[in-house]
Amino acid sequence: MTAEIIVVTSGKGGVGKTTTSASLATGLAIQGKKVAVIDFDVGLRNLDLIMGCERRVVYDFVNVVHGEATLKQALIKDKRYETLYVLAASQTRDKDALTQEGVEKVLQGLSEEGFDYVVCDSPAGIEKGAHLAMYFADHAVVVVNPEVSSVRDSDRILGLLSSKTRRAEKGEDAIKQHLLLTRYNPARVAVGEMLSVKDVEDILGISVVGVIPESENVLAASNSGVPVILDETSHAGQAYTDTVARLLGEERPLRFLEVQKKGFFQRVFGG
Ligand SMILES: Nc1ncnc2c1ncn2[C@@H]1O[C@H](COP(=O)(O)OP(=O)(O)OP(=O)(O)O)[C@@H](O)[C@H]1O
Ligand SMILES: [Mg+2]
């Protein structure tokens, strides 16, 4: 059994990759999968904060790559789910601390430990860290916001995914690309301030695997170290649950694409 490697990547920074990595990894663990989520953002670690395990980081990804700790020592077991583990990024090392061989060794180690999925949270940009995060991937979740600059930059990432990865170099089956639209705000789409789902799909030529609405619950979840997928009352959390189901092959309709009716009279009488 080999682990399926999923990279969560984007062209533009700050679009919701770490938020997405935390929720997808948690959602896969809820489905009974053994999952490791790795923070590739050397120097700017924050996945551990969003997963709520920052105080338990002793060893990190770079320590394992450099042989200063074993994988077992560095993997932090999630306090909520038995089969979920976090590998934190180093806060202090320089950006060149990761090497292709080192990353490969860690991914192989995780496969040997019986992990079903490894979720790689990519850093922003198209520099070395982002390249290493995608290089060994079987699946790519390309996170995009409904705005022109984000969509334009995603196009570059889609190009890199089909040319600069191990699968591409070895002529194997291409990485499976999944487009995830996040911070979707139907009210702003309605007035033409944001691109619609269809606009984004048309521009990029692939269909979305999920649409995560803009939600203040996301920040609240991050601040309390609980991935938003565990906030079952939030639309963002529910949309991530749907996305995990789709990644596992289930068909589910998109939700939360319409403007929410606000106010008592509108709720009671419609309109
Ligand atoms: N669906 C959402 N609704 C509201 N805010 C969101 C949503 N998704 C992400 N955010 C917010 O957007 C900001 C950036 O999110 P996040 O850190 O996940 O992005 P990133 O792509 O990992 O950033 P970077 O490129 O710097 O690593 C955070 O403040 C996060 O709370
Ligand atoms: Mg991030």
pLDDT single digits (tens) 230-255: 999 999 999 999 999 999 999 999 99
**Average pLDDT of 169-184?**
95
* Number of other residues whose CB lies within 10 A of the CB of residue 187: 13
Give pLDDT tens digits for 212-226.
999 999 999 999 999
Q: What is the mean pLDDT of the chain?
A: 93
Is the pLDDT score of 69 beyond 70? yes
Probe ligand 1: pick from 10, 218, 256, max atoms within 8 Å of CB? 218
Stated pTM of the model: 0.95
The atom of ligand 1 lying closest to the CA of 22 is 18
19, 122, 150, 242: which to mutate for ligand 1, most atoms within 8 A of CB?
19
Quick one: three-class SS letters along the chain?
Answer: CCCEEEEEECCCCCCCHHHHHHHHHHHHHHCCCCEEEEECCCCCCCHHHHHCCHHHCCCCHHHHHCCCCCHHHHCEECCCCCCEEEECCCCCCCHHHCCHHHHHHHHHHHHHCCCCEEEEECCCCCCHHHHHHHHCCCEEEEEECCCHHHHHHHHHHHHHHCCCCHHHHCCCCCCEEEEEEEEECHHHHHCCCCCCHHHHHHHHCCCEEEEEECCHHHHHHHHCCCCHHHCCCCHHHHHHHHHHHHHCCCCCCCCCCCCCCCCHHHHHHCC
- Distance (angstroms) between ligand 1 centre and the Cα of 67 equals 32
Provide the pLDDT confidence category of residue 49 given band limits of 50, 70 and 90: very high
| Ligand closest to the CA atom of residue 13 | 1
Does residue 45 have a pLDDT over 70?
Answer: yes
Distance 241 CA to ligand 2 centre (A): 20
Instruction: Quote the ligand 1 centre to 15 CA distance (angstroms).
Output: 5
Kindly report the protein residue whose alpha carbon is nearest to atom 23 of ligand 1.
14
Minimum-distance ligand 1 atom for the alpha carbon of 121: 22
Q: Is 229's pLDDT higher than 90?
A: yes
Ligand nearest to the CA of 125: 1
Give pLDDT, residue 271. 46
pLDDT at residue 263 is higher than 70: no
- Give the nearest ligand 1 atom to 122 CA: 27
Percent of the chain with pLDDT over 90: 88
| Ligand 2 centroid – CA 18 distance (Å) | 4
Does residue 72 register a pLDDT over 50? yes
pLDDT in tens, 78-125: 999 999 999 999 886 677 889 999 999 999 999 999 999 999 999 988
- Please tell me the distance between residue 46's alpha carbon and the centre of ligand 2 in angstroms: 7
**Ligand 2 centroid, distance to 132 Cα (angstroms):** 15
What atom in ligand 1 is closest to the CA of residue 14?
23
Pocket of ligand 1 (CB under 6 A): 10, 13-19, 41, 123-124, 182-183, 212, 214-215, 218-219, 222, 236
What pLDDT, on a 0 to 100 scale, did the predictor assign at position 269?
Answer: 62
pLDDT tops 70 at residue 268? no
102 Cα–ligand 1 center, Å = 28
- State the pLDDT at residue 134: 97
